[in-house]
Amino acid sequence: MGITVWVTRDFAQLSEAAAAIAVRKTIGILKNKKEATLGLATGISPTGLYKHFARAANEGKLDAGRIRSFNLDEYVGLPGENAQQRLLHPESYAYFMIQELFGRLQKKFIETRVPAGALIDQKTLIRELRENKGDWEFRGTDAGKSVVIKPRPKSAYLAWIKKDILDGYARKIKASGGIDLQIIGVGGRGHVAFHESGIPFAGSRVLLVRLDDNTIANAVADGHFKTRVQSPQYAISMGAELVYRAKTVLLLACGARKTESVARSLLGEVTPEIPISYGQKYAARGGELIYVLDRIAAGELLAGRKELKRRGVLLKNLA
């Protein structure tokens, strides 16, 4: 279905425009299906969209009781003595979703799922990886790497993670009929969720990721965690290959930190260096890819208008 880029003035207009698209798409899905399945992101970018979406649902414009959702990712290694404490930690993505969307809805979604990173004890994971090096391998060309657990690992703990947490999440998405509308943000290096720069596309359904040192440092610098020791070192994440199986992907980006990766994702080649560049392949195969950007994030992209037109990208300027 191609690629459309909406350029907005600022975060407020970006949020309104993105929410209008999400609401319209969801209403359309529910006209043709009993239920709609949404893929959801965390971070600052979708927070305004979620407020508008919840308001639309509460005003009766769409039936939240016919929606189920799957989140992109979750930390492994949040502070807490047990899974319950980790799940309810203020920096968990489950907690974020309750604060930003689920708790705002008067009528709740049928079902909400977040990857079960809170079930994994990070100390046990690190020990099992250290003691069972033949059970897994790193994949990735940069500091953030995918930890690929091999078939039939000797470690029962790693076997459980692979079967129930990684493959199990992918199975649940498939059983739901797949994601109709996937909302994503973008990292400064072009990563989607915790599919970090340099992690291969092939086999990237649901990943166990050892986080890039830069990602950990940013989490501390941004005030999410007090120290690197308290900051999680691992995460569970949908990979680009699974993200871009949705029928529609809605990407939001705001601010100067996203400018280069946004431009490279549509003007450059498809490369794991910029995971969101996979969207080009997705759109070429018939997927609907929609970017909603503020004018700062769109800056370098707009400098390549002629190339965008040659590639068939439709530009819509609201700024």
- Domains delineated in the chain: 2-317 (3.40.50.1360)
Enumerate the H helices of 59-183 as residue ranges.
83-87, 93-100, 122-131, 156-160, 167-175
- Count of C-beta atoms within a 10 Å radius of residue 22: 24
Question: Would you call 44 helix, strand, or coil by DSSP?
Answer: coil
CB 96 within 8 A of CB 71: no
Burial of 150 (0-12, 13-18, 19+ CB in 10 A): middle
Q: Residue 24 belongs to what H/E stretch?
A: helix 11-32
What is the structure's pLDDT at 214? 77
What is the structure's pLDDT at 225? 87
What is the structure's pLDDT at 72? 99
What is the reported pTM? 0.96
Mean pLDDT by 10 residues, the chain (319 residues): 96 99 99 98 97 99 98 96 94 97 98 98 97 98 96 98 98 98 95 96 94 83 84 96 98 96 98 98 98 98 96 95
With both helix axes pointing from N to C terminus, report the angle between 47-58 and 93-100 in degrees, rounded to the nearest 10. Answer: 50
Q: Say which residues have a Cβ less than 8 Å from residue 154's Cβ, sequence separation at least 6.
A: 132, 134, 135
CB 60 within 8 A of CB 104: no
CB 246 within 8 A of CB 185: no
Can you give the C-alpha Rg of the chain in angstroms?
19
What is the structure's pLDDT at 319? 83
Q: Show the 3-state SS of 49-95.
A: HHHHHHHHHHCCCCCHHHEEEEECEEEECCCCCCHHHHHCCCCCHHH
**CA 205/CA 56 separation, integer angstroms:** 32
What is the structure's pLDDT at 93? 97
What is the structure's pLDDT at 291? 99
Ramachandran assignment for 99, one of left (phi > 0), alpha (psi -120 to 50 degrees), beta (any other)? alpha
What is the torsion angle, in degrees rounded to the nearest 10, for the CA atoms of residue 91, residue 79, residue 40 and residue 298? 50
What is the structure's pLDDT at 242? 97
CB 94 within 8 A of CB 118: yes
